[in-house]
Amino acid sequence: MTMSFDEFGLAPGIRRAITDLGFEKPTPVQMRVIPFLMTADRDLVALAQTGTGKTAAYGLPILHRTDPANRATQTLILCPTRELCVQITRDLHAFAAHTKGLSIQAIYGGAPMDTQMRALEKGAHIIVATPGRMLDMLRRGRAQLAKVQHVVLDEADEMLNMGFQEDLEAILKTVPKGVRTLLFSATMQRQVAAIAGRYMNTPEEITIGERNSGSETVTHEYYMVHARDRYAALKRIIDVYPTIYGIIFCRTRLETHDVSSRLMADGYNADALHGDLSQAQRDRVLGAFRTRHLQLLVATDVAARGLDVTDLTHAINFSLPAEAAQYTHRSGRTGRAGKPGISVVLLNMREEHKIGILERVVKKRFAHKRVPSGREVCAAQLHALLERVRQVTVDEAEIAPYIGQIEAILSDLPAPEVLKRFVSLEFNRFLAYYKDSPDLNASGNSPPDRKAKGPPRERAAGEMTGFIVNLGDRNGLTPGELIGLVNRASRGPVFQFGRIQIDRDRTYFEASGGDPRILLDARSLPSYKGRKMEIRAFDPEQRPPRPNSRQSPRRDKRPAQ
């Protein structure tokens, strides 16, 4: 059965927004849920994996049924986290891009109440909220649910896992009797069934795929390593996928911290997301990850909850989750919206039997993969490098004045020799690092080399120069953006970055490899969010210690692409 978005009878403005978004045909959940919500009036329990398009499945028909002329709140959407709340609100705004006069408000904790209260005072047709903050608003009389027609419980299982049961029930008790309740969940666990039983009216049940099973487009792979080689194996796996964009799951905050600091020290474009971060730090890390300035996010399960970043290539289980069911949520972070994804599991010898358990949870076979050898990593990196050479856009106009110089200096070298040297420039560090690298497979024959450490990506050659920029946290600057700004401004040889320390109003950073004079010349610098960038040199010894600022020893010289 193929179906198109035209057949649902959605308003033309909504239909146009779907086209703008590039949605060509409805996902399986949408095919079943949209017609049901457009026609029937009964409650609904829909079970589907993450990444199957549930937001549009309920969002489109609800928008269609919302009356902009009626100023009352007509729909309440509850979801487990602030990030998800923002994401759903963003999606609904996109769906309503051509619908006039609709107000959609996000209400979540960890942000000032007064701004949200003012927004509610102006009237919200649709409220998207986390349960705790919503209940707060209701108790303070700041939200009116008397005219609500639809209540959506999105990721109901996660809300219950996170301990929102009481808040949820308190909210559900305040909504009018005849309200239509829609519950979405990846799993039908006992608590979810209990909520459905208590607050819903003989709901229609729509199950997409098998209950609790993993997403169709995810392949599952595991690697057997000695416990002590876990980190070295992680690096090989990352290196063999040069365009990797993924989450590395750890079990504890400590482990998250440990893995992310080692990756950063080794020059990877990685950062950590865990419960010890302030809201501002969390936003910064998530923002960098979402915009792909950050390639690898090292996170605990709790911190990664509700994070909707699409197109992840990998979900890596650095250590296994405490409960097997959690694995579905981890691997569901990749393979979203029908795109292929890889879920990687690192195991030591004692954990091998756990693969069978995971296979039963996701109902799929796991492939045993060998940790790539140094040579395989080098081959993959070389391939990626050559691919970049093939695809780079040459700015003919800008490079023209330099062609003479290039030819003059390199004229005595034959073309194949030039090619080899250009490739070596980038590639030598991999060849050097992986020279004589040991076999890391736990089942392998060669004894693992305990001294396998050191940087796979180039450590900055030459001396670092210190700089101060007149932009900081307040301007929303992130390390990734700084690296991009500097390297775009310098045009010539790229800078390699040492420490980056973002303070409130300014940022210290260390860099080497490029021409510092260009950075110090205000004329070559761009504006950033309306503020003219200015850089001056500074002496690292004189920097006042700032215990509260975040330090990032990243050395990657280019953001993820």
Q: Is 26 in the site for ligand ADP (CB under 6 A)?
A: yes
Applying CB under 5 A, the span of 54-62, 286-294, 298-306, 444-452 interacting with Mg ion comes to 54-62
Q: Report the residue number, 57 or 468, with the smaller CB distance to Mg ion.
A: 57
Single out the residue of 27, 75, 328, 381 in contact with ligand ADP (rule: CB under 6 A).
Answer: 27
The residue among 30 and 490 lying less far from ligand ADP, judged by its C-beta, is 30
| CB 129 within 8 Å of CB 73 | no
Beta bridge partners of 465: 511
x-or-dash string of contact with ligand ADP, 320-339, rule CB under 6 A: ----------------xx--
Nearer to Mg ion, 46 or 477 (CB): 46
Determine the residue type at 293.
H
Shortest Å, Cβ 309 to Mg ion:
12
Q: Is 418 in the site for ligand ADP (CB under 6 A)?
A: no
CA 370/CA 368 separation, integer angstroms: 7
Partner interacting with residue 468 (select from ligand ADP, Mg ion, none; CB below 5-8 Å by kind):
none
Q: How many whole angstroms separate alpha carbon 214 and alpha carbon 335?
A: 10
> Would you say 62 and 38 are in contact if contact means Cβ atoms under 8 Å apart?
no
- CB-nearer residue toward Mg ion: 54 or 429: 54
Nearer to ligand ADP, 189 or 261 (CB): 189
Rounded CA-CA distance 480/466 in Å is: 17
Per-residue binding string, ligand ADP, 190-229, x by CB under 6 A, is ----------------------------------------
Cβ-based nearer residue to ligand ADP, 27 or 496: 27
User: Is 284 in contact with 478 (CB distance < 8 Å)?
Assistant: yes
3-state secondary structure of 361: helix
Q: Which two tokens stand for residue 120?
A: 């509610």
CB-nearer residue toward ligand ADP: 51 or 61: 51
- CA distance linking residue 278 with residue 181, whole number of Å: 34
The two tokens of residue 227 are: 């416990």
Our CB check for ligand ADP shows the closer of 51 and 513 to be: 51
- In 218-251, which positions are buried (b, 16+ CB within 10 angstroms) versus exposed (e)? bbbebbbbbeebbbbbbbbbbbbbbebbbbbbbb
What DSSP state is assigned to residue 151? Answer: E
User: Mask: binding to ligand ADP, 337-366, rule CB under 6 A, as x and -?
Assistant: x-----------------------------
Tokens 């995810």 locate to 218
Residue 454: CB minimum distance to ligand ADP, A: 38
Q: Which stretch binds Mg ion (CB under 5 A): 53-61, 123-131, 138-146, 463-471?
A: 53-61
Looking at the chain, how many residues does it have? 561
Q: Between vectors from CA 240 to CA 361 and to CA 331, what angle results, nearest 5°? A: 20
Rounded Cα gap, residues 31 and 105, in angstroms? 27
In the complex, minimum distance from the CB of residue 303 to Mg ion, in angstroms, rounded to a whole number:
18
**125 is written with which tokens?**
């047709």
In the complex with Mg ion, the residue whose CB is nearer, 54 or 506, is: 54
Residues in binding contact with ligand ADP, number by CB under 6 A: 16
- Answer yes or no whether residue 125 interacts with Mg ion by CB under 5 A: no
The Cα–Cα gap between 157 and 195 comes to 10
Nearer to ligand ADP, 4 or 39 (CB): 4
Element (H, E) at 244: none
Sheet-wide strand order for 150-153: 104-107, 126-129, 75-78, 150-153, 180-185, 44-47, 204-207
Reported as type and span, the H/E element at residue 94 is helix 82-95
**Judged by CB under 6 A, which stretch of 23-31, 289-297, 447-455, 507-515 contacts ligand ADP?**
23-31
* Cα gap 74→102, rounded to integer Å: 11
E strands present in 117-195: 126-129, 150-153, 180-185
> What's the one-letter identity of residue 77?
I
CA gap 49, 332 in Å, rounded = 7
Smallest distance from the beta carbon of 154 to Mg ion, in angstroms?
A: 6
Please identify, using beta-carbon distances, which residue of 54 and 333 lies nearer to Mg ion.
54
| DSSP 8-state assignment for residue 519 | H
Q: Which of 229, 255, 266, 308 binds ligand ADP (CB under 6 A)?
A: 308
Least Cβ distance, residue 459 to ligand ADP (angstroms) = 37
Cα(241)–Cα(245) distance, integer angstroms: 9
Chosen from Mg ion, ligand ADP, none, partner binding at 428 (C-beta under 5 to 8 Å by type) = none
Residue 46-85 contact track with ligand ADP, rule CB under 6 A, x = bound: --x-xxxxxxx-----------------------------
* Biggest alpha carbon–alpha carbon distance for the chain: 85
Dump the DSSP string for 464-511: -EEEEES--GGGT--HHHHHHHHHHHH-SSPPEEEEEEE-SS-EEEEE
Stretch of residues binding Mg ion (CB under 5 A), selected from 46-54, 349-357, 360-368, 417-425: 46-54
Considering beta carbons, is residue 54 or 314 the nearer one to Mg ion?
Answer: 54
Please give the DSSP secondary-structure letter assigned to residue 335: S
Query: Which one of the spans 45-53, 406-414, 451-459, 512-520 is the region binding ligand ADP (CB under 6 A)?
Result: 45-53
Asked if 54 and 46 count as a contact pair (C-beta separation under 8 A), the reply is yes
The residue range among 48-56, 111-119, 257-265, 494-502 that interacts with Mg ion, by the rule CB under 5 A, is 48-56
- Work out which of 27, 44, 48, 54 binds Mg ion, going by CB under 5 A: 54
Q: Minimum distance from CB of 155 to Mg ion (Å)? A: 6
Contact of residue 56 among ligand ADP, Mg ion, none (CB under 5-8 Å per partner type): ligand ADP
* Least distance to Mg ion, CB of residue 550, Å: 30
In angstroms, the CA 83 to CA 214 distance is 23
- Give whichever of 152 and 477 is closer to ligand ADP, judged by the CB atom: 152
From Mg ion, ligand ADP, none, which one binds at residue 137 (CB under 5 to 8 Å depending on kind)?
none
Residues forming contacts to ligand ADP in the complex (CB under 6 A) are 23, 26-27, 30, 48, 50-56, 308, 310, 336-337
Residues forming contacts to Mg ion in the complex (CB under 5 A) are 54
